[in-house]
Structure 1
Amino acid sequence: MGRRWAARRLGLALALMVVVVLAARCDGGVTSSFVRKSGKTVDMPLDSDVFRVPRGYNAPQQVHITQGDHDGTAVTVSWVTQDEPGSSTVLYGTSKSKIEFFAEGKYARYKFYNYTSGYIHHCTLRNLERDTKYYYALGIGHTLREFWFRTPPKVGPDVPYTFGLIGDLGQTFDSNRTLSHYESNPKAQALLYVGDLSYADNHPNHDNVRWDTWGRKCTPVPDQSAPVYITIGDGGNVEGLANNMTEPQPSYSAYREASFGHAILEIKNRSHAYYSWHRNQDGNAVAADSMWFSNRYWHPIDDSYT
């Protein structure tokens, strides 16, 4: 009886040792020393510097550009004038000292609850040369504002191009750090805002003033050149939000923590692209995570051995 009990205890001890060893080997490890703050981020107040209206009566605000056609030879300039329509004309040219062309746009406005929008202008510049720097100006008299952009290169499977990626930006203090961090990164040629955008629906009556503040915050990019493309976020998809995360994460999980920041997607050629994630908490040149993507059509990989 004693020998049998001793054998059982020895077997149990060995089994526990195996479990401990397996648990140690299955531990995903720590992928980052960063711990995101637990407090909920809040919107910046309406009188924040980044929300300020440009100087001058009826000065153009919320200025941004998007690609105006499928070929990359047109650019649409959008902006808002608050008090009256003003001018929908955009002056442009390939030299800052000689802006010789002009285009006429249109404007519209809308009402929502007790909110009345400013005059929203859209003007498309057409027949532009590819991969060319253009200067453009809008406004009247002392409220004239000048910017510039570079048109995309000719379309081709091996033409390199770099996108900046920001998702769910909002207008919190963390949002401001994200945008400032992105602006310090000189790589991107165009910026993709992967919605959601303003989070105006977090305020009573979906306060549309928060769309104006968001638009003004996103205007002052230092080089003032990158096109902006807006796409829907998870709130616009029929499947709804992805809220079913495991919490807390098990010790063997290699889950990357959620954090504020931006990404850079560098399309190298037809077969390869490089993606890097830059957290606000890291230095401007430091990528917290990165990976290569390959196009299986142009770069087939034999994975039959897996």
Structure 2
Amino acid sequence: MLLHLLFSLFAFVTFIDSGNAGVTSSFTRGEFPTVDIPLDNEVFAVPKGYNAPQQVHITQGDYDGKAVLISWVTPDKPGTSEVRYGLSEGKYEFTAKGSFTNYTFYTYKSGYIHKCLLNGLQYDTKYYYEIGDGDSARSFWFETPPKVDPDASYKFGIIGDLGQTYDSLSTLQHYMNSGAKTVLFVGDLSYADRYKYHNVGVRWDSWGRFVEPSTAYQTWIWNTGNHEIEYMPYMDEVTMFKSYLYRYPTPYQASKSTSPLWYSIRRASAHIIVLSAYSPFVKYTPQWKWLREEFKNVDRKKTPWLIVLMHVPIYNSNVAHFMEGESLRSVFEAWFVEHKVDVVFAGHVHAYERSYRVSNIRFNISSGDPYPVPDKSAPVYITVGDGGNQEGLAVRFRDPQPDYSAFREASYGHSTLEIQNRTHALYHWNRNDDGKKVKIDSFVLHNLYWGSRRKLNKNRLRSVILNKASTAQQ
């Protein structure tokens, strides 16, 4: 028994990326309330002009990054669902036709929600686009990712549980100065469900305008959280995810998913899998069957980086939502380890936490290791539910800090993951509670697939050099 414990301790120290013991930050956030920004604030301003497009946002429109889905709202009448776009500002060589819809939520009636797919785009290219009619037309731009390639470098931002408070604004502004190209969003968008009756829809509209300075220019990869469910029988609203599904389309059909709530994309050198924590996921459900097939489609020789997004964290040592991810863990963790997922991003807990590479897949109800153990094939689990929403921070961590927890802090912020090549990526968590962005937690993330081949590649490189030397001598 003693030898087993010593071996486990040695393995744990060996496998961790940072090489440090777990840390609970001593940073104390300043005492000021987390409240939603008033609706008359300029961050929610309606664009000038009659029926001008608003709440503009884009997401990836296909599997490999050569298409974008552009969505917007016209408040007074449908107008046109057309997008004019091209390679030069003000010169729109191409036109795409979309469609529009609307919905009601209690007494609230939405504006006209447009959706338009632009496909057949060039990789690594800046496009300019225009939507709307006449004097009310508005113009924006976006950049497509590099083509799918194992050594394509790319920088992602990670945001969760954002809301629309002054802290949310700080997070958004700091992210927009990060240099990241795409947001991986881990759920809980507007927190409109904290309002009642007509104001639920009003706060979806205000949030769409609030994030537009980023979402109109950058791809956001969407995921849902519990605040998108909006099951509200007291208003006779019992269709789950209703507002979200009308407003935020996803390219789910491109990955053969049967629901917009779970899907997959490839972007640059990353394969990104989006899972729905609030849809059925146990064995033989549609989501479970889809994920089983999607893992077969992952080609680490083309997309070395395998990233999973989910709302509920599997490893969480905060008092808030403790153990809520256990059912997800029991269903999916073995697959994550088997397929060498590099990192799993989650939200839900309004704090930041990063794990070491551990797993609990050996445990069952009658035998096996009862606690998480070091596992060099396991993902790093990172919770970034710290966007700034009005529910406030989850300030109470469980004590003592468990062995699987590498770093934790109850502050608002965002993360970035900067992929360098097929073997290394740079990760940072950035706190914004002290008025400026500060990199607090950072480490080098080693790719699990190519990392296991480093020794083989070194031997191969040595043989190539020797062969070339031999040929030169001849």
2:174 and 2:412 map into 1 onto residues whose CA distance is: 10
Q: Residue 263 of structure 1: CA displacement?
A: 0.9
Aligned residue for 1:141? 134
Structure 1 position 60 matched with structure 2 position 138: no
* Aligned position for 2:114: 121
Change (3 A) 1:233 1:92: same
Tell me the TM-score normalized by structure 1: 0.81
Q: Which moved more, 1:30-39 or 1:60-69?
A: 30-39
Equivalent residues, number: 273
Call closer, same or farther: CA 1:68–1:250 in 2, change over 3 Å: closer
1:130-182: per-residue Cα shift (whole Å, max 9, x none)? 11111100111111111111111110111111111110000111111111111
Deviation (angstroms), 1:123: 0.6
Q: Distance in 1 between matches of 2:226 and 2:112?
A: 29
Deviations 1:97-127 (A, max 9, x none): 4211101100000001010000000011111
Contact 2:58 2:216 in 1 (8 A): no
How far does residue 257 in structure 1 lie from its aligned partner after superposition?
1.6
The C-alpha deviation readout for 1:286-306, integer Å capped at 9, x for no partner, is: 31111222222210299xxxx
Map 1:147-226; keep pairs closer than 5 Å. 147-185=140-178, 187-205=179-197, 207-221=200-214, 225-226=217-218
Which amino acid is 2:444 matched to?
A: W
The corresponding residue for 1:132 is: 125
1:243 aligns with 2:236: no
Native 8 Å contact 2:417 2:426 kept in 1: yes
**What is the aligned-residue identity percentage?**
53
Q: Secondary structure at the match of 1:220?
A: helix
Whether 1:263 aligns to 2:303 is: no
Structure 1 unaligned blocks of 5 or more:
1-27
Structure 2 CA distance for aligned equivalents of residues 31 and 247 of structure 1:
11
2:430 matches 1:278:
yes
Q: Is the 8 A contact 2:420 2:426 kept in 1?
A: yes
Q: Residues 92, 208 of structure 1: CA spacing in aligned structure 2 closer, same or farther, 3 A cutoff? A: same
Contact 1:249/1:255 (CA < 8 Å) preserved in 2?
A: no
> Whole-Å Cα distance in 2 between the matches of residues 140 and 169 of structure 1?
32
* Match runs of 1:50-89 below 5 Å: 50-89=43-82
Matching residue's letter, 2:222: I
Q: Which residue of 2 aligns with 1:8?
A: none
Whole-angstrom CA distance in 1 between matches of 2:88 and 2:46: 28
Give the Cα–Cα distance (whole angstroms) in 2 for the partners of residues 181 and 296 of structure 1: 30
Report the CA distance between 1:34 and its aligned residue. Answer: 2.7
C-alpha distance 295-234 of structure 1, shift in aligned 2 (>3 A): farther
Q: What is the Cα deviation at residue 63 of structure 1?
A: 0.5
Contact 1:196–1:234 under 8 Å retained in 2: yes
> Which residue in 1 is equivalent to 2:222?
230
**Would you say the 8 A contact 1:184–1:284 is kept in 2?**
no
Q: Following TM superposition, by how much is the alpha carbon of 1:70 offset from its aligned partner in structure 2, in angstroms?
A: 0.7
Q: Partner residue of 1:94? A: 87
Alignment partners' CA distance in 1, 2:98 and 2:46: 22
Maintained 8 Å contact 2:77/2:112: yes
When residues 292 and 91 of structure 1 are mapped into structure 2, their CA distance, relative to the original with a 3 A threshold, is same
Match of 1:36 in 2: 29
Q: Quickly say closer, same or farther: Cα 1:274–1:212, change in 2 above 3 A.
A: same
Q: In proportion to residue count, which structure has more helix?
A: 2
The farther-off stretch of 90-99 and 241-250 is: 241-250
For 2:452, the equivalent position in structure 1 comes to 300
Quote the residue 2:464 is aligned against.
Answer: none
Distance 1:250 1:38 in 2: 23
**Superposed CA RMSD:** 2.7
TM-score norm. by structure 2 comes to: 0.53
CA contact (8 A) 1:278 1:284 kept: no
In the alignment, residue 65 of structure 2 is paired with which amino acid?
G
Unaligned runs of 5+ residues in structure 2 are 1-20, 228-275, 280-311, 314-319, 323-393, 455-474
Residue identity in the other structure for 1:77 = I
The alignment partner of 2:35 has SS state of: coil
Secondary structure in structure 2 of the residue aligned to 1:147: strand
